[in-house]
Amino acid sequence: MKLGILCVAVAYFATLANCKILSDPVKSYENHQVLRVEIASKESHETLSSIHGIHFWNEGRIGGNADVMVAPQEIEQFKQFLSEQGFKYSTMVENVGDLIKLEQVPAINAKDLPNSQHSMSWTEYHQQDDIESFLDYLADTYDFVEVESIGESFEGRPMRVVKVCKNGCGNKPAMWIDGGIHAREWISPASVTWMMKELIENDAEHSDLTEKLDWYILSIVNPDGYAYTKTNDRLWRKTRTSNSLGICHGTDANRNWGYQWNTGGSSGNGCSDTYHGPEAFSEVENRNIRDFVLERKDQIKFFNTIHSYSQLVLLPWGNSYDAAPGIDKMQAMADKANEALFAVHGTQFDVGCIPCLLYIASGGSSDWALGTAGIPYTFAMELRDTGLHGFILPADQIIPAAEETWAFHVSSARQIIEEFAA
């Protein structure tokens, strides 16, 4: 194909200058609305899923609701379509742009919480550089903390696991926690880093958790996508690898794991938010985690990947309704830990299998952790809220969300101690 013809083809999808794609513009969500649509049947779910030009915040399940973001120029036409098709709906978010502005307001002035050794405050959402400075502070300050690089992202950003191990790592049962696999879910890395602080800085208040367990914590699985949400598109979900001849970018890193990959609930369309990638483990970020976890698969007994939103504790499997091995014990652990979570702020979470509470989704990390790595307790959590703010949770909810999520992990950790370290 001649260069000029190729430029014309690509220009249909992207802004060009001398046949070079310019930097992506900053995406505005001013006057975008999010509608909550009731899904009464399989047919209605398929009808809604087939519509082009809408953006799912939550695809919903039969008997539940789907949360759909619609651009301002399409709102009236879409509402008319819903009415004509017999869908019941309500407006959940009047203006996504207003939520994004609200999210930027710190809970309190960050200068009220000074720390000369790192930049984290948990009164606002931070860049990765601030998070990395916090990890260095922890490793420099506490002799039972080490930071290990497990590789770099596609664009060369660091991926570093905090290892909390007294008397060396590898001799005790271990807990794995990760956050930020979906870039737009900012409350996830914020909560995960706050839990690091609580685990390590307040060790004296719960020393059994570090004396009897090792902890491996990765705050951002998808650093490239996270950076992109800070600079270009607040609601970007995927990684930033190029696909579809460079027209689209990104793979859904939670549809790319190599257990039952591409067996339902993911897309082969490179422009889709749920694109599963050209093959399992095509994403270097997932390969980095895979290699670290597999080296320690006999030690790690608990695996939890932190998401938002919907207030759910999700159990495997994601790709089917079949009972996962050990599901009764996972359910019992989650139920007990959920009681501890509720006791903190009275926040109600539901517990159940992924398609039971959401939808079919194959290629997820929690399925891989159980099905391939053989980790006996594997979960995914969807943190606050249930839709009022969705992915764009105000900064004043960071610490409350983290506190209740930490309570879940304290309960789970003590159950792991009782079963594996007693």
Give me the active site residues, please.
382
Partners of residue 158 on adjacent β-strands: 152
Is residue 30 a contact partner of residue 95, using CB atoms and an 8 Å limit?
Answer: yes
What span, in angstroms and rounded, lies between the C-alpha atoms of 87 and 75?
15
Distance between CA 121 and CA 106 in Å, rounded? 10
| 30 membership: H or E segment, kind and range | none
For residue 351, list its beta bridge partners: 313
Q: How far apart are CA 163 and CA 172, in angstroms?
A: 12
Question: Which of 390, 350, 300 has the alpha carbon at shortest distance from 98?
Answer: 390
Cβ(103)–Cβ(66) under 8 Å?
Answer: no
Neighbour-count burial for 317-346, b at 16+ CB within 10 Å, e otherwise: bbbbeeebebeeebbebbeebbebbeebee
Alpha helical stretches, state H, 303-380: 327-345, 354-357, 365-371
Q: Is 81 left (phi over 0), alpha (psi -120 to 50) or beta?
A: alpha
Cα torsion angle, 120, 122, 128, 131, sign: positive
Q: Cα separation of 206 and 82, whole Å?
A: 52
Reported for 202-205, long-range contacts at CB under 8 A and 24+ positions apart, including other chains, are: 203/142, 203/144
Strand pairing category for 300-308 and 312-315: unpaired
Strand-pairing partners, residue 169, are: none
Q: End-to-end alpha-carbon separation of the chain, Å? A: 67
Q: What is the C-alpha separation between 107 and 190, in angstroms, rounded? A: 13
